Structure 1
């Protein structure tokens, strides 16, 4: 039995279902190359001859579209309703895309910063360093013998570096905790309690100027 009637039916059904112009090559690719180009051209020629498909010439290329008289008349109200629905869905999709982009940006920011465990460890280490520096500073403040200008400058540099590190790490910790809070179901205070964060204010520590 010849396969041609089945091929013609398939081509016609495809054009009616899509209801838009296609070139021979478009149809060939969209039908997954199941019908050879020569056979496909013959199907289209016969469908054009029968009036079921219209052929239009654009430059040197032919395009084929199902005969529009085969479709029911368009209800203007229904068409407007569909257009409104398309606009609503497009707006919804745009909003969801923006939400996804924001979520991806937040995830990237969290992924590129320290983990909560690392932040806690660094804060603890920084506090220990600060306490050690303070303990060394006390006798220096109270000692009677003067220190040299070079020693004082060296100490001041070390103090400035320590304060700078303190400020930088505190900022990093705050950024990470703020990023966690965006998806955390509880308050900031509860988050700090859950992961064991103690702030400078909790300990009565004031950052030097």
Structure 2
């Protein structure tokens, strides 16, 4: 008669011992599937054996069990773990502080890189910049040519002539407004005793308004 298979995977108790030691050493939660995947190659544990062993350990109170939806996770009972010494706790505190400092430094570096990336994404590429420069040079050349034509023209308007035209335009605008106001006041006075509508009066007399011809007071220059 052949001997049974030796080692931790030979029985449920051996599987439970392997899993208990693993959960305590890792001190983090695992599902049955995760534990099976991590231990199967080294210890040859079957998936069903892992699930049964974890259930057994949880029933015995040697590990803790939590259910999330349809999945259960298992982790070492913290009260059953050996208490850490003062030196070990100080070492862990130092390691935590060092890791926290590293995390902050990495976060700051990420922020700097994100800001730089945003700036680069908003900048033109070298080909785009070359095209922009070429277009600006073409525009400058066209404006320079137009300016030279204007300077060399014989009918250029002098500053004095421009000032005179502006004064005359202002004078005519004021006169336009004054005469229009006088006409409106006169017509309103007539219409007070007129038995028909304003439109009928205008048609009978033959009055045409600025609005009839889409004429508006020019803007000041």
Q: Normalising to structure 2: TM-score of the pair?
A: 0.47
Higher RCO structure, 1 or 2 (CA under 8 Å, sep 6+): 1
Larger radius of gyration: 2
